[in-house]
Amino acid sequence: MDIATIAKELNLKVVSASDRTKNNNVKGGYTGDLLSDVMANSHEGDIWITRQVHQNIVAIATLKEHAAVILVNSCEPAKDTMEKAIQENVPILISNLSAFELTGRIYNLLRTEK
């Protein structure tokens, strides 16, 4: 399932790299706010679900080759985060859901696709 489909199904707001949401298939996901944990345990093609809004999320998403980053609880990325996401072409999306609820919904979407 691609990011565009997930965004549509879950009413997510795409705030950067919208051109990378179509045909960018999600392989899995990781939910976490501790950057060292995300670096150690997430995988290429994951959607990363987080509350963090600083520009280090873009660096990690790029390093780990994540499909996208989703910010929860209607959090908006910091200005320098947006600039970095645009520069690195990293899709950032925003959800009004909690991390717990969003993780469950994405898991169910991906599970039903298989």
For 41, the domain range is 3-113
pLDDT at residue 56, as a whole number: 96
- Measured in degrees and rounded to the nearest 5, phi and psi for residue 53 equal -125, 0
Task: Decide if 90 contacts 16 (C-beta within 8 A).
Answer: yes
Residue 58 and residue 13: Cα distance in Å, rounded? 17
Q: Which residues are CB-neighbours of 114 under 8 A, at least 6 positions away?
A: none
Tokens of 108: 């169910």
Our count of domains for the chain comes to 1
Report the pLDDT value the prediction gives residue 102, as an integer from 0 to 100. Answer: 98
Position 114 scores a pLDDT of: 59
Q: In this structure, what CATH number is given to the domain that contains residue 13? A: 3.40.1390.20
Per-residue pLDDT of the chain (114 residues; tens, 9 = 90+): 999 999 999 999 999 998 888 888 899 999 999 999 999 999 999 999 999 999 999 999 999 999 999 999 999 999 999 999 999 999 999 999 999 999 999 999 999 875
Q: Does residue 17 contact residue 91 with C-beta atoms inside 8 Å? A: yes
pTM over 0.85, yes/no: yes
Q: Note the maximum CA span of the chain.
A: 37
Q: CA 12 to CA 76: how far, in whole Å?
A: 12
